[in-house]
Chain A
Amino acid sequence: MLKNIYKGIKVTGIAAAVSNRWQSTEEAASHLDQTRDFNLEKFVKSTGVKGRYLCMERQTPADFCVAAADRLLREKGVNREEIGILLYVTQSPDYRSPATACVMQQRLGLSINCVAFDINMGCSGFVVGLNTVSALLAGSDTEKALLLCGDLTGQDLNRDAVSNDYYYLFGDAGAAILVEKNHTNVDELMILSATDGGGLKAISSPGGLWRHPTWKYGCAMDGVEVFNFGINRAPEMIKEYMRIQGTKPDDYDKLVLHQANLYMMKQVAKRSGFDKEKMSVSIEEFGNTSSVSIPISIVHDYGEQTMAEPKRFLCCGFGVGLSWAAVEIVLSPNQIYPLIHTDEYFEDGLEENY
């Protein structure tokens, strides 16, 4: 495992956004071809997904991230000129080029004295993104960075969200995380990371790009391989994290796992020594939202609370890559903002028939 340690770098705020379009698993399944073997009750019980939010017709997850970032910067009273780093973690960018983060720099009214780029990561993306942002921040002359996580995984490019039961596990969402230098409190931010590219066949979306331009099958997933990976690698990393830090499950307020599926999460929590009551569960409402699932779980649990007492979150993302990573963050509920609902989308002025 790679270990990164940053001194005086802190997460200081989180916001998340979804659309107003919530679709229950039951409603989605009513559109399925009736000859298809799909056990609704078993699916909901095992995965935990009662429904999920979907992007509106012309929305992309970048719209959720911009709404969340806007709210976060306003609530925190941050001068937009102060943001020197903008990172967008996504597997569903708006464009092949430019990086969606470049367009977001302008949409958010940030200074041009800013580095902005995307990274393609999924389930581990929040932690990998936080690692990237922290490293950039630590070596820079800026004080503040924005980490945005967004994905559109609940439907395909034709905006079809119902024809395949595979979609029912996934939702569309976006989150914004403010990361700042703190010169008075130099607590350490420790991040563990690992990668096993041998897991390509376990989860991949190969279509539409250069290696497989004519791929027709959407996402390819081997559920057994993914499950075995998750229930072994994630607990191993979580236990190693606590060993290095000298902590135990009781020291944390919440174990915030990537919301892969409820059954897998319960196994990961149990094997990591956590009671399931301590595990954050937001998959019932949002589905699996890829890199957004950790920040949106924190918003789900504390977004409506306003107390200033700090909470300790042990976060572990694991999945596509295969990639897995863990971090502890400390945040007060008054730094976590209520869930935003927006149906707005960005009109970029590009003509389809240019």
Chain B
Amino acid sequence: MTEREKLAMLEDLFEMEEGSLATDMELADVDEYDSMSKLSLIVMMEDEFGVSLDGAAIREFHTVGDIVALMEK
């Protein structure tokens, strides 16, 4: 899976326009990355990548790239 495909998954998950995310973007600047999006992210990461995220792991995410780095099949 390419980096662009992973970003597209996140854009779909956060209900954003295609092409609006980049790995160096700060999550604090992404309005759509809110408490409800975090719940969707937990489910997607576990279902699609077998990665379990707890609250501490979520708090460690600072950029979009931090999430993308864990999206490995």
Contacts and interface: CB of A to CB of B under 8 A. Distances in A.
Interface of A: 37, 39, 42-43, 46-47, 222-225, 227-228, 231, 263-264, 267
Given A231-B43, A267-B43, A224 B55 contact: yes
Given A37-B34, A42-B36, A224-B35, 9 more contacts: A43-B36, A224-B55, A225-B54, A227-B39, A227-B42, A228-B42, A228-B54, A231-B43, A263-B40
A103 B26 CA distance: 56
Contacts of B39: 46, 223-224, 227, 263-264
Contact of B55 (A37, A42, A43, A222): A222
19 contacts: A37-B34, A39-B34, A42-B15, A42-B34, A46-B36, A46-B39, A223-B35, A223-B38, A224-B35, A224-B42, A224-B53, A224-B54, A224-B55, A227-B39, A228-B54, A231-B42, A263-B36, A263-B39, A267-B43
A280 to B, nearest CB: 21
Contacts of B43: 231, 267
Nearest to A45: B36
Contacts of A264: 39
Interface of B: 15, 31, 34-36, 38-40, 42-43, 53-55, 58
Contacts of A43: 36
A224 B36 contact: no
A310 B25 CA distance: 56
A264 B38 CA distance: 12
Nearest to A264: B39
A45 to B, nearest CB: 9
A198 to B, nearest CB: 13
Contacts of A224: 35, 38-39, 42, 53-55, 58
Given A231-B43, A267-B43, A225 B55 contact: yes
Contacts of B38: 223-224
A154 B53 CA distance: 30
Nearest to B59: A224
A292 B17 CA distance: 40
A262 B36 CA distance: 11
A329 to B, nearest CB: 29
